[in-house]
Amino acid sequence: MATVNLSPIGNGVQFLLPSGAVNANGYLSTYQAGTSTPVATYNSSAGSVANATSIPLGTDGAPASEIWIVSGTAVKFILEDSSGVPISGKTWDNIKGINDETGLGVYWCGTATGTANALVLTPAIPSTAYTAGVVYYFKSGAAANTGATTVNISGLGAIAIQDNGSALSGSEIQPNQWYQLLIDATTTAAQLLNVINSLTIPQTLALAAVSFSGAVISTKAAAAGYSRISPNQCQLSGNASFVTLTNSTTTTISAPSANATAVIVELTNLVYGINGGAAGTLRSCNSFLCQDAAGIITQLDTQAVSVDQGNNNGTIGSDSAAGIVYLASVGGSFYIKSTLTGASTNGLAQYAILGYYD
């Protein structure tokens, strides 16, 4: 027996001719949708007795029997007069039975029965075969599956439920949740579609590396005497205090903050005249070297100034530069060493911390 749905064409209808007269003893012929191939309909919901493909009309212009269409199929109806001649404008194509959901490829199954690892689904409209692309909605039972799982739909036989082509291993189907099954191209397995019913978040999450863009507000406090001007930079709030370096001696300078990764410094070179020095003597300003904790030295400021010394104890030349000294480690120190060229020992080198990065 065929599964059928009531036709919206022909039942309880009296057909007329274009003249308005009753189409007595005419015909309502049925074909596969979009073709000229005859197709049978059925005379009752039992789907056991087929109508003729040219259904005769009575003297009252109405079909003598009911018309039921096979579920999942579409029909073309052509109205003909008593001589079997089609009547213009009286063709209806792609007609499906009332409430026929099979063409949508989606079946409502309610709550699954059977066992957790052997589900049984009973669609509201029974399926006559496993068809690739058809989807079944169902609610799981009271227990989760514990391993490989099968499903039997409309008594067609058990087929495997898979997750992206692989057999289930357990806990993929949780109790009392809604799921979908898609019959795959082989028609011998049903793929469990990704349906999120509820989400349990563990107390600890393992996150992959993440990169951010845009403004970031730092939660680190600025060191005393400094103010934050960007998420990772602080600058001196007041005037800089210069400290004199000893010539040819390595000086260790502590970072303003334990969070500092680099310090912004200003270096100043001063050359003083020597008491009673001869006019015309040339002196060069200091060049500064930065030395990290591993002893690696890099030159920070290469500027040098030659001055004509002829005055007594007067400042006659100066030079300054700003640079960034990177710390060897967080909370560590940086080192500055100055070297004065020439005979004078009165050359002074000074530094001041202007800010830091963290």
Is 94 domain-assigned? Answer: yes
Q: Which of 312, 244, 248 is nearest to 281 (CA)?
A: 312
Q: Judge whether residue 288 has pLDDT over 70.
A: no
Residue where a domain stops, chosen among 172, 192, 212: 192
When pLDDT is cut at 50, 70 and 90, the band that residue 107 belongs to is confident
Same domain, 117 and 72: no
Cα–Cα distance measured from residue 145 to residue 164, given in angstroms and rounded to the nearest whole number: 17
Strand positions, DSSP E, 1-74: 4-6, 27-32, 54-56, 68-70
Same domain, 95 and 49: yes
Same domain, 117 and 186: yes
Same domain, 72 and 153: no
CATH code of the domain containing 20: 2.170.14.10
Cα–Cα distance measured from residue 354 to residue 228, given in angstroms and rounded to the nearest whole number: 12
Is 298 domain-assigned? Answer: yes
Q: Strand, helix or coil at 341?
A: coil
Is 199 domain-assigned? Answer: no
Is 212 domain-assigned? Answer: no
Same domain, 238 and 344: yes
Q: How many structural domains are present in the chain?
A: 3
Is 204 domain-assigned? Answer: no
Is 237 domain-assigned? Answer: yes
Tracing tokens 């993440």 back to the chain, one arrives at 210
Supply the pLDDT for residue 103. Answer: 57
Cα–Cα distance measured from residue 255 to residue 264, given in angstroms and rounded to the nearest whole number: 10
Is 248 domain-assigned? Answer: yes
Q: What is the DSSP letter of 268?
A: E
User: Which tokens hold the place of 148?
Assistant: 């490989």
Q: Judge whether residue 208 has pLDDT over 70.
A: no
When pLDDT is cut at 50, 70 and 90, the band that residue 284 belongs to is very low
Q: Judge whether residue 70 has pLDDT over 70.
A: yes
Mean pLDDT on 14-42: 95
Most confident of 92-101, 200-209, 252-261, 287-296: 92-101
Same domain, 353 and 230: yes
Percentage of the residues of the chain whose pLDDT score is greater than 70: 66
Supply the pLDDT for residue 265. Answer: 74
Supply the pLDDT for residue 240. Answer: 81
Same domain, 347 and 232: yes
CA angle 119, 120, 126 (to 5 degrees): 145
Q: Judge whether residue 215 has pLDDT over 60.
A: no
Same domain, 74 and 136: no
Cβ within 8 Å of residue 244, ≥6 positions away: 348, 349, 350
Asked whether 284 and 305 are in contact (CB, 8 A), the reply is: yes
Residue where a domain stops, chosen among 64, 99, 134: 99
Domain that holds residue 116: 102-192
Same domain, 17 and 53: yes
Same domain, 170 and 268: no
Q: Judge whether residue 162 has pLDDT over 70.
A: yes
When pLDDT is cut at 50, 70 and 90, the band that residue 211 belongs to is low
Q: Judge whether residue 255 has pLDDT over 90.
A: no
Supply the pLDDT for residue 342. Answer: 46
For every residue of 77-109, DSSP letters joined together read EEEE-TTSPEEEEEEEEEE--TT--GGGTEEEE
Same domain, 149 and 270: no
Cα–Cα distance measured from residue 235 to residue 256, given in angstroms and rounded to the nearest whole number: 10
Residue where a domain stops, chosen among 62, 77, 99: 99
User: Which tokens hold the place of 243?
Assistant: 């400290």
Same domain, 13 and 64: yes
Cα–Cα distance measured from residue 46 to residue 26, given in angstroms and rounded to the nearest whole number: 26
